[in-house]
Amino acid sequence: MFRLFPLMFAVLALGLMLAGPVQAADDVAEGKVVKAGAGKLTFVDKDKKETTVELDKDGKVSCDGKDCKLDDLKKGVSVKVTWMKKDDKVWATKIDASTK
């Protein structure tokens, strides 16, 4: 019985090491574009709070369901921004714009 404890402990420790850090779930915000370009998006939400996010290196931008570029987003366009905090910055992982 006492031989089994060190083995179970080693297996558990190995599993935790291989799992690595757990990333928090992404948050979602909606609003209107204030400014977009140069890898950043500034938007204002319904509470008039202005937020600036940087587009993650793997981030996706879509305009009315089609792939587009951050520079294509014009002031006043409605956006749904999926973002996460990483390295003390706010990164957009997905930006869905709607002109309709």
- Average pLDDT of the segment spanning 25-40: 92
**pLDDT of 37 higher than 50:** yes
- Average pLDDT of the segment spanning 30-34: 97
Beta strands at 78-86 and 89-98: parallel, antiparallel or unpaired: antiparallel
- Residue 21 to residue 45: CA distance in whole angstroms: 31
- Residue 80 to residue 82: CA distance in whole angstroms: 7
Strand partners for 82: 28, 94
Maximal C-alpha separation, the chain = 68
Question: In order of start, what are the domains of the chain with their CATH numbers?
Answer: 24-98 (2.40.50.320)
45-78 pLDDT, tens digit each: 999 999 999 999 999 999 999 999 999 999 999 9
CA angle centred on 80, ends 84 and 44, rounded to 5°: 90
16-26 pLDDT, tens digit each: 555 544 445 67
